[in-house]
Amino acid sequence: MYKYFISLCFVFVFVNGYSQINTSKEETKEKKDTVTYKTGYGLRIGLDISKPGLAIIDKSYSGLELVGDYRVSKKWYIATELGFEDETTYEDFSSSSSKGSYIRLGANYNAYENWLDMNNEIYVGMRYGFAIFDHTLNSYQPNVSSGTENLPPYFPSNPITTPMSDNGLTAHWTELQLGIKAETFKNLFIGFSFSYKIMLSVDDQKGFKTLYTPGFNRVFESSTGFGFNYTISYLIPFVNK
């Protein structure tokens, strides 16, 4: 009888200990399940480093662009880019320059589902762009024809090298952006984007069509354009959510 009593006690101790271990595991699991990861909401500012790089390669171009965005919800960001460009375009019979400032305003939607405390983006954005610029026709050569096919003109034209300028010209456009931003270090982001632009209106210099608009880039016959940027930016977090 005594042996049975001791065995029963051992069984009771084992069952009680096992139940406590299970309870402890369940509590730990519940604590882990309730852990939430917060990300920073704030102002992110940076620089498009592709423009200084282009200025080193292409001596006919100089420009600077600052970028910024502000996170307003889990998926949405208010975004802007502002800058200055000075570009000279060379054609077969003309040379012209555009110089001025621009701003683009809009929003980005982050389509990427981040894991845990990641803060990366694969986004789609829309922008409204506005530029005010000066346009100068540096030189041109009048198109003179002999009136006979395959024959040179009787009096070849001489190039006109006296610059002619119009100031205070404006341009308005919209654009669609696709881009990526990745957090490489804490609050430091590397990103790049591609944009498709549609010109709404642009002022032309008297007697000459605008070929390049700051912030829009080259203006094609279809009134469309393309853009690309490569940015480094830093997030100043105001609150974690």
Q: What is the pLDDT of residues 88-112, one digit of tens each?
A: 999 878 889 999 999 999 999 999 9
pLDDT band of residue 139 (cuts 50, 70, 90) is confident
> Does residue 12 carry a pLDDT above 50?
no
Q: Please report, for residues 4, 107, 203, the alpha-carbon distance to residue 200 in angstroms, rounded to integers and kept in the order given.
A: 95, 19, 11
DSSP letter for each residue of 150-204: TS--SSPPPPB---EEEEEEEEEEEEEEEEEEEEEETTEEEEEEEEEEEEEEEPP
Give pLDDT, residue 221.
Answer: 87
Residue 150's pLDDT is: 58
Q: What is the pLDDT of residues 145-198, one digit of tens each?
A: 555 555 555 555 666 677 788 999 999 999 999 999 999 999 999 999 999 999
Condensed to tens digits (0 to 9), the pLDDT of residues 21-56 reads 444 444 444 444 455 667 778 999 999 999 999 999
Which residue type is seen at 150?
Answer: N
Predicted local distance difference test score (pLDDT) of residue 148 = 54
Give strand ranges (E) for the chain. Answer: 40-48, 61-71, 76-90, 94-110, 121-140, 164-185, 188-202, 212-213, 217-218, 224-240
**Please, which pLDDT band fits residue 131 given cuts at 50, 70 and 90?**
very high
The pTM for the full model equals: 0.78
* Closest to 45 in 3D by CA, of 231, 238, 241: 231
Looking at the domain 40-142+159-240, which fold is it?
Answer: Porin (2.40.160)
Instruction: Tell me which of 2-11, 33-42, 66-75, 199-208 is least confident.
Output: 2-11
Assign 233 a pLDDT band (cuts: 50, 70, 90): very high
Q: Which residue in 57, 50, 138, 124 sits closest to 94, CA to CA?
A: 138
- The pLDDT of 200-226, averaged and rounded, is 93
Using the CB atoms, write b or e for 138-156: b if 16+ within 10 Å: bbbbeeeeeeeeeeeeeee
Neighbours of 10 (CB within 10 A): 9
The answer, yes or no, to whether residue 15 has pLDDT greater than 90, is no
Domain ranges of the chain: 40-142+159-240
Residues 6+ apart with CB under 8 A from 231: 46, 47, 48, 49, 67, 181, 189, 190, 191, 192, 193
What does the pLDDT read at residue 207? 83
pLDDT at residue 10 tops 80: no
